[in-house]
Amino acid sequence: MSEIHHECGVAAVYQLPNAELSKLCPPQGIDHANRLIPRMLLDIQNRGQLSAGITSFCLGRSQLLDTHKDIGTVTEVFRLAHKGKRESLMSEYRGHAAIGHVRYATCGRDDRSYAQPFERHHLQKDKWFSFAFNGQLANYTQLRDELLHSGNHHLARETDTEIIMHELSRELGGDGKSDLVAVMKNVAARFDGAYSLAFLNARGEMIVARDPLGVKPMCYAFDGSLFAAASESVALLNLGFNRDDIKSLSPGTAVYIDRDSIAPRIERFAESSRTAHCFFEWIYFANVASTLDERSVYMARTALGEELARIERERGEVPVDNEDTIVVPVPDTSKAAADAMAYALRVPCREGLIRNRYTGRTFIEGSGSRERAAKIKYTPLRHVLQNKRVILVEDSIVRSTTMRVLLDRIREEGAAKEIHVRVACPPIVAPCFYGIDMSTVSELFAPEFMPDLQLTDEAQARMAKELGADTLRYLPVTSIARAIGVEANELCQGCITGEYPSESGQRLYQVALNANSAPSNGKSSGGRTYEQNPATV
């Protein structure tokens, strides 16, 4: 699915002096732990391809903290394809502690100044810091307005990342050394939303924290000398950490480590009345090899496919015992669900769509980019699809642009005789205010057909006709928690239920509903919901 994007991914490493305790210490020594960051970011590149960056800490240089970041993929930004330039970068930004980031924009423009980590210089070392975060503050506009009206303040960017930087800076004020866990406690009292972050200052102190709801994932590991953390477990597993040593950071807790640490210290900075893990992590965003909050992404997607098969058997709309029937996944994130569905139904699963993995963003910018992206990204295989009854499995439908293009191409170029769309997710009926690139009701496909948010046969028939499919079936909301293996109240399912886990999220949904129902006068409301002033909507 190329229609939605996550905001970003975070990575952090800290090499303690007792390197002999670690089998994972970089061959160049403990002051080159920064070399691990590009490797980790490659494993979470799925979370953002717009920009990448690193901040490292090193006592042996005048720039105690130094940041390198730019627009582009991890390979481009760190010059991984060019040995000489890569080595030059790694030497320049050497350090025994570092944080890294990959980004896709849900807030702010697509230029280098918005790339993370964000570094703030200061004369005092504990106030000179850099941080990277994953998520979105639902009360962004409130915090922004309070900052602008509380003094002689100015914000240079339209992003909550800058808000977080200033809020951290205010907490680090004063002459004494700040307790970073106390800093997180104080800012958490003002933040409403999702934020998994990694913080590093010029004293060599690092803190990795996860918001009290645990909306976004954060994993960590320690082997006696090397500490590492990342948005997904796969980045730690591929460094060489033992699977049993990789843990998910509990919501409302932080890991603190500094140069004098024997081991990381885990402390709670905020109480968690409930969890609200983003269910989309298991359905789409996370690397299929990851385990988040002790639940396998692959196994969750497999269970979703089994849910699709169960519903297919119950309804009997498609003759699954016919040799002309095949299951086709929309690559890549739908493959596990499609395989499981086909296996349960005893129907062949065929790769009728081939994804071009080398299309750069240069080719898909500008107006109409989503349509062009879909045409460039997928190629139908006529020899697989011709005269077949295709059960097309997709992980979700958000704006419907990609699905419309795919259905046209499968029917025209693939010569399929029937196309039955099966979606391993309920309809997306509401925006996301916690870090997924969909913030208005009007951009979503399903709400027009589900004014009361009820998934009926009639609504699905109308949607199928609109898309150009023979039939269309979504999973019900109840299937999600069952497939992931948690209680529904442990997940954030705001985009499929309209019920959000935080006050600001619920308020923004009402803002979005009001904006969608207001007369347009031929004008678009323009901008994302959380960038608008609620008083004017």
Which positions are catalytic?
8
The neighbour count for residue 125, using CB atoms within 10 Å, is 15
Cα-based distances in Å from 108 to 90, 162, 400, 487: 29, 10, 24, 34
> How many CA atoms does the CB half-sphere of 439 hold within 13 Å?
26
- Spatial contact of 33 and 226, defined as CB atoms under 8 Å apart: yes
If DSSP codes are grouped into helix, strand and coil, which group holds residue 121? coil
User: How many C-alpha atoms does 19 have within 13 Å on its Cβ side?
Assistant: 14
Say which residues have a Cβ less than 8 Å from residue 485's Cβ, sequence separation at least 6.
295, 300, 303
Cβ contact 348:327 at 8 Å = yes
**Token output for 436:** 């997924």
Q: Taking the CB of residue 81, how many other CB atoms lie within 10 A of it?
A: 9
Helix, strand, or coil here: 54?
A: strand
The pair of structure tokens assigned to 373 is: 């992206």
Strand partners for 474: 423
Interatomic CA distance for residues 357 and 263, integer angstroms:
41
Pairing of strands 265-268, 277-278: unpaired
For residue 33, the SS3 value is helix
Query: Which pair of structure tokens corresponds to residue 525?
Result: 């409301």
Say how far apart CA 354 and CA 263 lie, in whole Å: 47
- What are the helix (H) ranges across 252-296? 280
Q: Which residues are 248's β-sheet partners?
A: 219
Q: Whats the size of the chain, residue-wise?
A: 537
Q: Please tell me the distance from the alpha carbon of residue 241 to that of residue 264, in angstroms, as a whole number.
A: 16
- Compute CA distances 434 → 54, 312, 441, 500, whole Å: 24, 33, 15, 10
Task: Compute how many other C-beta atoms are within 10 angstroms of the C-beta atom of residue 39.
Answer: 17
Cα–Cα nearest to 373, from 8, 70, 5, 6: 5
Tokens representing residue 532 in the block = 């608008």
Residue 434 and residue 450: Cα distance in Å, rounded?
23
Q: For the residues of 289-347, what is the DSSP string, one character each? A: T-EETTEEHHHHHHHHHHHHHHHHHHH--S-TTSTTEEEEE-TTTTHHHHHHHHHHHT-
**Tokens 């009701």, residue located:** 441
Q: Calculate the alpha carbon distances from 226 to 206, 232, 429, 519, 535 in Å.
A: 13, 17, 44, 57, 49
